[in-house]
Amino acid sequence: MRTLPVAVLISGGGTNLQALIDACKPADYPAEIKIVISNRADAGGLSRAKEAGIATAVVDHKEFENREGFEDAVQRELEAANVELVCLAGFMRLLSGDFVNQWKDRMINVHPSLLPSFKGLHTHERAIENGVRFAGCTVHYVRAEMDDGPIILQAAVPIDADETPDSLAAKVLTYEHQIYPEALRLIANRLTRVRGHRVIIDHMSVPKSGLINPVPE
């Protein structure tokens, strides 16, 4: 079985990277991580990749005069690894439209909110402050605009009355670790099609039931 060659871009500890590494271990999983690239030499995810026997590279953005030079260096690493899909996993650098467009429909990201709500940082604090009843996470194809692009999968979690940003982040992260490998599996099995701003997933039905929170008395 042919496996999809993948690169993962990180900046930090790499818990979502670890979820992808674990998912790729079974022989029947349709994707393989060829390289992990970090813009920080001290990113904990690099150790996770090395322990799994995955090639790593550090492209320190501080060593370049501009974003174009940084992105050119990242592109060279991706081309050398012959990857066909890029997964952003806690990669904390904004990418230019030119770079993103080179990888249109071949770059995905996981974001800790139910997009298009709460783009950017501090998603959990903002969700609690705004009194929303559900938070969650989203895996989406990347577009030039920040945290934008066709949505592949989402998971929703209820926000408790005594929720804190830390407790909500922990709950949401659990689901990030589930839907990111599943989204990668769907793409690698060629079950996703981008139509406009929507992702059509073959052989997957959308549940017709809904949730109401709080439950009416």
Query: Comparing C-alpha atoms, which of 16, 6, 8 is closest to residue 175?
Result: 16
Contact 99, 72 (CB under 8 A): no
Is 177 one of the catalytic residues?
no
Integer Cα distance of 140 and 49 in angstroms: 23
Question: What is the signed CA dihedral for 123, 140, 8, 70, rounded to 10 degrees?
Answer: -80
Q: Of the residues 61, 111, 122, 140, which is catalytic?
A: 111
Q: Which residues, including other chains, have CB under 8 Å from residue 119's CB and lie 6 or more apart?
A: 111, 113, 146, 147, 148
Contact 34, 83 (CB under 8 A): yes
Q: What token pair was written down for 160?
A: 């408790």
Contact 152, 193 (CB under 8 A): no
Integer Cα distance of 128 and 134 in angstroms: 9
Q: Residue 196 CB: number of other CB atoms within 10 A?
A: 7
The residues annotated with a catalytic role in the active site are 111
